[in-house]
Chain A
Amino acid sequence: MEKTPLNQDHRAGGARMVDFGGWEMPLHYGSQIEEHHAVRRDAGMFDVSHMCAVDVAGRDARAFLGRLLANNVDRLTVPGKALYSTMLNPDGGVIDDLIVYFIDDERFRVVVNAGTAAKDLAWMNARLAEWALAVDLTPRRQGAGALAMIAVQGPQARQQVWRVLPEARAASEALKPFFAADAGDLFIARTGYTGEDGYEITLPAERASALWQALAAAGVHRCGLGARDTLRLEAGMNLYGQDMDEGVSPLDAGLAWTVDLLSPRDFVGKAALLERGQGQQFLGLVLLERGVLRAHQEVIGEHGRGEITSGSFAPTMQQSIALARLPLPTVVGETVSVRVREKLLAARVVKPAFVRHGRVLV
C-alpha cells in the first residue's frame, strides 16, 4: 500500500488505518463522531496527501483544460481562483471530479482523487498527444518535488492556521472562498470538503509532519476519512466512485451547475450530454424513522424507483441522511419509501446540502 508523508504521525496518534484506493489512510483516531463534531464546532485537520496535485504548464495550458474539462476554465481570470469541474469521457460519463487552480495563463494546478490519479494522468496524456498541444503535466505526489496536503476545517480553522503559521497570515487572511495564494513554499487555498470554513494547505512533503504536529499541539483535532465522509455528506458534496463514475452523467449526479453547456466551447463529452440530456434527479433524503440509509438501497416513490448513492448517519442532525438518484418528476418535500433490509422506511426528499457552517438547512 502507498503511504503519505504523515503515515508515522497517524500511527503515533493511535489511528485505525485502512486501505483507501490503494493508500493506507487513517479511518479515525478513536471516535469518528467526535472528530465530526470537532470540525463543525471547532477545528479539525485531515491528511489529504493521497490526492494528487498535477501541475499543468505551458503555452497551451488554458486551451488544453478548456477542451478537457466540462466546467469552463475561461471563468478563471484572477490568479489564485479555483474551479470545481468534472472530466468526462466521450459518452459523458465522469472520469473524475477535480479542482483546478489558476496561477497564471501558462500555469494551472489540478487536484484529482487518490484512487483515480493513474487513469486520470493516462487520459490527460493521451488527449495531450491527440491534440498536439504544448503542455507539460507534472504529478506532484511522489518522488522529487513531492507535495503533501493538509486540510484544516472548522469555524476556528483559519485562526488556528494563523497561530501556527503566522508568516502565512498576510497571504491567506484576505482570501475569499475558492481562492488560493502562495505563502513562501506553502500553497494555501480557502477550499474544503466539509461545509465549514478553512484552508487546504499544500506544502513540500518533508515539511508536512512538522506542520501536522504543530497544528495538533495548538489543539486542532486529528480527523480521519470516516469523519471526512459524514461531513461531506452533510454538506451535500459528491464522492467520486459512489455518487458518480464513468457510467453516470454529471447531469444525473447533481453536477449540472459545474457543466458549461452554454458557451460555444467544445469539450470531451459535450455532444453526449446534449444528446442525452438529464435522465434523473440528484436529491437528498432525510430518514423519518429509526435506521440508517446506505448506498445502493432502493427508493420507491410515486414517480417510480431510484437508488441511494451515499447514505449514513448524520452526526450533526442525529438522524440518517442520503444522496439519491430519483425519477425526474420527484419534487422536494415529497415522502418516499426506502427499502432497508426487509422493511420500507419513510424518508423526506430535500435539496442538498443538509448542513453548512454548523447550521442544519433542511
Chain B
Amino acid sequence: MNIPSDLKYTRSHEWIRLESDGTITVGITEHAQELLGDLVFIELPELGKELAAGQEAAVVESVKAAADVYAPVAGTVVEVNSALVDAPEGVNQDAYAAWLFILAPAAAAEVDALLDAAAYQQVVDAVQ
C-alpha cells in the first residue's frame, strides 16, 4: 500500500499536502480508491465555500458506491481540480496526483495535528 511519507492523512482516508503558501491540497488515498473501485463521478465544492473541520466537502462515486470527502480542517476552498469532473478515473490511476480541492486553513495548527504516514498505516491495518 502506497502511503507517501511527506503527506498528512485523516481517519476518513483523505490525504493532505501542506503547500509553501500555507494552503493545503486534499485528495483521497490509494487505499480509499481501492475500496471504492472504478470512479465514475466526482462532485467538487464551490470556490469560496467555508468549511468546518469534518464537514462534507466533495463526493466521489464509483460504480458500486458513493462516498463523502470531508474537509480535514476548517478552511476556505480556494481551488478545485475541475479536470477530474470529466476524468474521474484519474483518481484510480494515481490517487496522490489527482487532488480534489485546495483549502486555505483557518488555523495552521490544525494541519500539524493530522495523522502522519505511520499513523495512517495503522488506520489501514486496523480495518484489514
Contact of B37 among A28, A291, A315 (CB under 8 A): A28
A32 to B66, CA, bound (A): 16
A242 interface residue (CB < 8 Å to B): no
Asked if A292 and B66 make an inter-chain contact with CB atoms under 8 angstroms apart, the answer reads yes
CB of B78 within 8 A of chain A? no
Query: By the criterion CB–CB under 8 Å, are B41 and A32 in contact?
Result: no
B116: CB under 8 A from chain A?
no
A290 within 8 A of B: yes
Q: Are A33 and B66 in contact (CB under 8 A)?
A: no
Taking a contact as CB atoms under 8 Å apart, the answer to whether B63 and A33 are in contact is yes
* A294 CB contacts on chain B under 8 angstroms: 66
Alpha-carbon separation in the docked complex, A28 to B34 (Å): 11
Q: Once the chains bind, are A230 and B63 in contact (CB under 8 Å)?
A: yes
Most interface-central of B37, B59, B85, B92 (chain A CB within 10 A):
B37
The answer to whether A312 and B63 have CB atoms under 8 Å apart is: yes
- Whether A33 and B38, one on each chain, are in contact in the complex, defined by CB atoms closer than 8 angstroms, is yes
Which of chain B's residues have a CB closer than 8 A to the CB of A320? 41
* In contact, A313 and B37 (Cβ under 8 angstroms): no
For B92, the chain A residues whose CB sits under 8 A away are 31
Which residue of chain A is the closest to B61 with respect to CB atoms?
A: A292
Report yes or no: A226 in contact with B59, Cβ–Cβ below 8 A. Answer: no
Residues of A with C-beta under 8 A to B64: 27, 32, 226, 312
Given A292-B61, A341-B59, A313:B41 Cβ within 8 A = yes
| Tally of A interface residues using CB under 8 Å | 17
A345 to B98, CA, bound (A): 27
Contacts of B59 in A (CB 8 A): 341
CB contacts under 8 Å to A, within B64-89, are: 64, 66, 85
Query: Which residues in window 45-64 of B have CB below 8 A to A?
Result: 59, 61, 63-64
B40 at the interface (CB under 8 A from A): yes
Most chain B CB neighbours (cut-off 10 Å) among A32, A291, A292, A341? A292
C-alpha spacing A100/B109, complex, angstroms? 66
Q: A292 and B40: CB pair below 8 A?
A: yes
Bound state CA distance, A320 and B40, in angstroms? 9
CB pair B63 A226 closer than 8 Å = yes
Q: Is the CB of A313 within 8 A of B66?
A: no
Bound Cα distance A27, B61 (Å) = 17
Once bound together, how far apart are the Cα atoms of A315 and B89, in whole Å?
A: 12
Interface string of A8-41 (1 = CB under 8 A from B): 0000000010000000000110011100000000
Residues of A284-308 at the interface with B, using a CB-CB cut-off of 8 Å, are 290-292, 294
Once the chains are docked, how many angstroms separate the CA of A121 from the CA of B92? 43
A290 and B88 alpha carbons, distance in the complex (Å): 12
Scan residues 24-48 of chain B and give those whose CB is less than 8 A from a CB of chain A.
37-38, 40-41, 43
B85 neighbours in A (Cβ, 8 Å) = 290
- Are B41 and A290 closer than 8 Å at their CB atoms? yes
B41 touching A292, Cβ below 8 Å: yes
B63 touches A291 (CB 8 A): no
Nearest-CB residue, chain A, relative to B35? A16
User: Measured between alpha carbons, how far is A32 from B92 in the docked complex, in Å?
Assistant: 12
Please give me the residue from chain A that is nearest to B34 by CB atom: A16
* Cβ contacts under 8 Å, A16 to chain B: 37
Q: A196-227 CB contact bits vs B (8 Å, 1 = yes)?
A: 00000000000000000000000000000010
Nearest 5 pairs of A and B residues by beta carbon: A313-B40, A33-B38, A292-B61, A292-B41, A313-B63
- Chain A positions near chain B (C-beta within 8 angstroms): 16, 27-28, 31-33, 226, 230, 290-292, 294, 312-313, 315, 320, 341
27 A-B Cβ contacts within 8 A?
A27-B37, A27-B64, A28-B37, A31-B37, A31-B38, A32-B37, A32-B38, A32-B63, A32-B64, A33-B38, A226-B63, A226-B64, A230-B63, A291-B41, A291-B43, A291-B61, A292-B40, A292-B61, A294-B66, A312-B63, A312-B64, A313-B40, A313-B41, A313-B61, A315-B63, A320-B41, A341-B59
Known pairs A292-B61, A292-B66 / 6 extra A-B pairs, C-beta < 8 Å: A31-B92, A33-B63, A226-B63, A291-B41, A294-B66, A315-B63
